[in-house]
């Protein structure tokens, strides 16, 4: 009786097949290789890493720019003339691209971990190229159109830096397993030294990078000042149409300390609230006055303005995704809003004992009140009955005349001027965008009795950061959100941060050292074993692990001795052979081409 014993038995490796198949479409065993990655594939791995890094920065930028999404949409509206939420497609594309590239990065690292040759499939190469080019175009476009928004990255790092440092250190520490494995398996000393130096330089940089991290929230708790006062910019535009009485009332219900609005002069000299140059976005002017929908808002008289609806657009466009949470009565109130005048807002502020601040847009050249626009606005303020101390006057034109006629007004500058200039003009308050004032500027203004207000602050992390910086007040489009922040999101003393820093560095160093010792110990033990046991998986086609010539010869001799010389071996005719095996360990003994998947050793029982 003849008993057939397989020459080699291969274990199923589903995980490895999926790994190499998804990354490089190498689903078959013979397609995989443990050889060194080619220079061309190394270049593509570098391109993949660069794409991942760029997408990571791009994703982080849009994550932190959430504070200014409404400002971005307004910029798009001014360029296109049509309102749409431009952040939705950008966020969707960014999330999809980042997920895809991050998945490829994980697959590439897994290839390195198991010693497989990197071979990115051409479809993935196209995807990586598309992701790289589109992200680069997006970065360039945002830089040209909205360049000042990149400041949010550096500002946000003051709030997230300590935590990002811990996350980055954990990731690099985990990579020690791959680095140690590569060094243990590498045969070239130059390659080992290069990998070790690169890894250690990155690791040491992360160990000492906290020396350059500065944050206002790293301070003694006793030095924390009172929370910044909140001014409702355009009221509460996330809860009601901007610059309407309903919006201001909603803001006052959230206990804001002041109201801020954008003012334009009508054709008949009535100051009214309007942010845009035209009425198309926030009114139904296209239905009431279709022939005048592109006219400047200041070219309408107050009678025409009063006839326009200023709330239906909010229900239709839902700019802040809040309409779905409104009741039927709230929607009715929103849908019946009209254009609000400056006098109406000032009377509401006076009644609620809140401060009022507004920015005034000068009428165009052909406007009848092109030259007396300041006087008309000042008369409206004085006629409204609001105490002068509650009004922040931001108009720089004819400021001396305004000071003489209304000395009680709080003179406010919307420009970052030297302290001498501010004192010379009698300016006691400054209104700036949040990226225009550093922590040093805040301290300087506070020391010189200049009250600083920063806009637009809508996110809790930014509000907490400015709170720790000592900013007296902020202007916000989301007072309902900031009112829920009763304490900075995080606050720690310098000693606490130093302790966390040192502990994380020590833990990371201990883990890295342990990984290198563990990897090298097992590799030395494996090499000292004399190659007495062999795994057929390491004799796969064109996928042999690199070994010394002596180890290969020993393996061949041991395999040859396992075949009894007294037994004859019959092989199928050459015409039936479907595969030729090169560099097979048995080929030196039997001097024949055999199929390792079908060849059997017959044994007589």
* pLDDT confidence of residue 578: 40
Q: Please answer whether residues 356 and 392 qualify as being in contact, where contact means their C-beta atoms are separated by less than 8 angstroms.
A: yes
pLDDT in tens, 224-275: 999 999 999 999 999 999 999 999 999 999 999 999 999 999 999 999 999 9
pLDDT in tens, 414-438: 999 999 999 999 999 999 999 999 9
| DSSP 8-class letter at 219 | S
How would DSSP label each residue in 433-481?
EGGG--HHHHHHHHHTT-EEEEE---SHHHHHHHHHHT--EEEES-HHH
* pLDDT confidence of residue 574: 41
CA 531 to each of CA 385, 534, 557, 558: distance values in angstroms, whole numbers, following the listed order: 96, 7, 12, 10
- For 167, the token pair is 């996350």
**Cβ-based neighbours of 102, under 8 Å, separated by 6 or more:** 52, 55
The three-state secondary structure class of 356 is strand
How many helices (DSSP H) and strands (DSSP E) are in the chain?
23, 11
Indicate the pTM of the whole model. 0.82
* pLDDT confidence of residue 579: 38
| Helix or strand (DSSP H, E) at 18 | helix 14-24
Most confident segment among 32-36, 37-41, 170-174: 170-174
Q: Please answer whether residues 430 and 449 qualify as being in contact, where contact means their C-beta atoms are separated by less than 8 angstroms.
A: no
Q: Where are the alpha helices (DSSP H) in 115-188?
A: 122-146, 151-174, 176-185
pLDDT in tens, 272-285: 999 999 999 999 99
- Lowest mean pLDDT across 336-340, 442-446, 538-542: 538-542
- For 593, the token pair is 């081409």
Nearest-angstrom CA–CA distance, 568 and 294 = 97
- Per the CATH hierarchy, to which homologous superfamily does domain 229-482 belong? Phosphatidylinositol (PI) phosphodiesterase (3.20.20.190)
- For 55, the token pair is 């997408």
Nearest-angstrom CA–CA distance, 142 and 144 = 5
- Lowest mean pLDDT across 217-221, 338-342, 472-476, 526-530: 526-530
Nearest-angstrom CA–CA distance, 268 and 264 = 12
**Cβ-based neighbours of 110, under 8 Å, separated by 6 or more:** 19
Q: Please answer whether residues 58 and 94 qualify as being in contact, where contact means their C-beta atoms are separated by less than 8 angstroms.
A: yes
| Residue predicted with more confidence, 386 or 562 | 386
- For 583, the token pair is 């560099």
Nearest-angstrom CA–CA distance, 97 and 132 = 9
* pLDDT confidence of residue 477: 96
pLDDT in tens, 354-381: 999 999 999 999 999 999 999 999 999 9
Nearest-angstrom CA–CA distance, 153 and 591 = 67
- Asked if pLDDT for residue 184 goes beyond 80, the answer is no
Q: Please answer whether residues 256 and 239 qualify as being in contact, where contact means their C-beta atoms are separated by less than 8 angstroms.
A: no
Rounded to 10°, the helix 39-64/87-114 angle is 140
* pLDDT confidence of residue 23: 83
CA 277 to each of CA 77, 268, 273: distance values in angstroms, whole numbers, following the listed order: 11, 17, 11
Question: Nearest Cα to 243, choosing from 216, 271, 221?
Answer: 271
**Cβ-based neighbours of 558, under 8 Å, separated by 6 or more:** 534
| DSSP 8-class letter at 349 | H
Q: Please answer whether residues 441 and 456 qualify as being in contact, where contact means their C-beta atoms are separated by less than 8 angstroms.
A: no
For range 200-221, the mean pLDDT: 93
How would DSSP label each residue in 388-443?
GGGEEE---TTHHHHHHH-TTSEEEESS---HHHHHHTT--EEEEEGGG--HHHHH
Confidence of residue 1 (pLDDT cuts 50, 70, 90): low
Confidence of residue 577 (pLDDT cuts 50, 70, 90): very low
- Lowest mean pLDDT across 6-15, 53-62, 67-76, 351-360: 6-15
**Cβ-based neighbours of 587, under 8 Å, separated by 6 or more:** 581, 593, 594
For range 310-331, the mean pLDDT: 94
Exposure string over 569-600, b if 16+ CB within 10 A, otherwise e:
eeeeeeeebeeebeebbbeeeeeeebebeebe
Ranges of each domain in the chain: 2-8+541-604, 14-218+495-522, 229-482
**Cβ-based neighbours of 390, under 8 Å, separated by 6 or more:** 349, 350, 353, 354, 355, 356
Nearest-angstrom CA–CA distance, 370 and 376 = 11
* pLDDT confidence of residue 349: 97
- Asked if pLDDT for residue 604 goes beyond 70, the answer is no
């Amino acid at each position: 009786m003849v008993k057939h014993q397989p020459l080699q038995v291969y274990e199923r490796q589903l995980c490895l097949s999926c790994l190499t198949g998804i990354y490089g479409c190498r689903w078959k065993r013979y397609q995989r290789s443990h050889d060194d990655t080619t220079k061309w594939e190394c270049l593509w791995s570098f391109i993949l890493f660069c794409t991942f890094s760029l997408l990571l920065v791009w994703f982080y930028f849009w994550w932190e720019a959430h504070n200014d999404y409404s400002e971005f949409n307004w910029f798009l509206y001014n360029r296109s003339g049509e309102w749409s939420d431009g952040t939705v497609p950008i966020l969707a594309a960014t999330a999809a691209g980042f997920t895809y590239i991050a998945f490829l990065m994980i697959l590439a690292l897994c290839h390195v971990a198991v010693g497989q040759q990197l071979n990115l499939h051409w479809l993935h190469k196209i995807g990586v190229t598309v992701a790289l080019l589109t992200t680069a175009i997006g970065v360039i476009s945002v830089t040209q159109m909205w360049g000042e928004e990149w400041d949010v990255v550096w500002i946000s790092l003051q709030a997230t830096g300590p935590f990002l440092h811990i996350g980055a250190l954990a990731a690099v520490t985990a990579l020690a397993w791959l680095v140690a494995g590569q060094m243990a398996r590498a045969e070239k000393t130059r390659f080992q030294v290069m990998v070790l130096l690169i890894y250690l330089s990155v690791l040491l940089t992360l160990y000492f990078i906290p020396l350059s991290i500065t944050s206002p929230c790293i301070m003694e708790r006793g030095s924390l000042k009172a929370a910044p006062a909140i001014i409702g910019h355009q009221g509460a535009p996330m809860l009601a149409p901007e610059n309407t009485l309903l919006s201001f009332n909603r803001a006052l219900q959230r206990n804001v300390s002041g109201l801020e609005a954008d003012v334009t002069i009508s054709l008949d000299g009535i100051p009214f609230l309007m942010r845009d140059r035209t009425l198309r976005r926030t009114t139904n002017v296209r239905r009431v006055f279709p022939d005048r929908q592109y006219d400047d808002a200041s070219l309408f008289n107050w009678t025409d303005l009063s006839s326009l609806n200023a709330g239906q657009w909010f229900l239709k466009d839902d700019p802040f995704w809040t309409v779905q949470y409104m009741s039927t009565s709230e929607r009715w109130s929103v849908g019946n809003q009209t254009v609000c005048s400056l006098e109406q807002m000032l009377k509401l502020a006076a009644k609620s004992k809140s401060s009022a601040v507004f920015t005034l847009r000068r009428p165009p050249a052909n406007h009848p009140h092109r030259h007396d626009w300041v006087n008309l606005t000042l008369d409206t303020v004085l006629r409204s009955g609001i105490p002068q101390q509650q009004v922040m006057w931001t108009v720089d034109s004819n400021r001396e005349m305004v000071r003489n006629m209304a000395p009680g007004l709080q003179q406010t500058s919307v420009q970052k001027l030297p302290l001498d200039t501010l004192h010379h003009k009698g300016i006691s308050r400054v209104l700036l965008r949040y990226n225009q004032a550093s922590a040093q500027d805040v301290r300087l203004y506070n020391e010189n009795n200049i009250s600083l207000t920063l806009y637009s602050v809508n996110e809790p992390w930014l509000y907490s950061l400015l709170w720790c910086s000592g900013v007296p007040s902020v202007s916000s489009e989301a007072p309902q959100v900031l009112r829920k922040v009763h304490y900075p999101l995080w606050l720690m003393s310098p000693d606490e941060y130093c302790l966390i820093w040192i502990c994380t560095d020590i833990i990371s160093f201990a883990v890295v050292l342990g990984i290198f010792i563990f990897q090298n110990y097992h590799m030395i033990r494996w090499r000292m074993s004399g190659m007495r046991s062999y795994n057929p998986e390491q004799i796969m086609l064109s996928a042999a692990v690199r070994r010394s010539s002596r180890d290969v010869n020993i393996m061949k001799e041991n395999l040859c001795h396992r075949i009894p010389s007294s037994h004859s071996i019959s092989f199928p005719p050459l015409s039936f052979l479907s595969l030729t095996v090169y560099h097979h360990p048995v080929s030196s003994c039997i001097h024949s081409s055999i199929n390792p998947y079908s060849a059997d050793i017959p044994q007589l029982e």
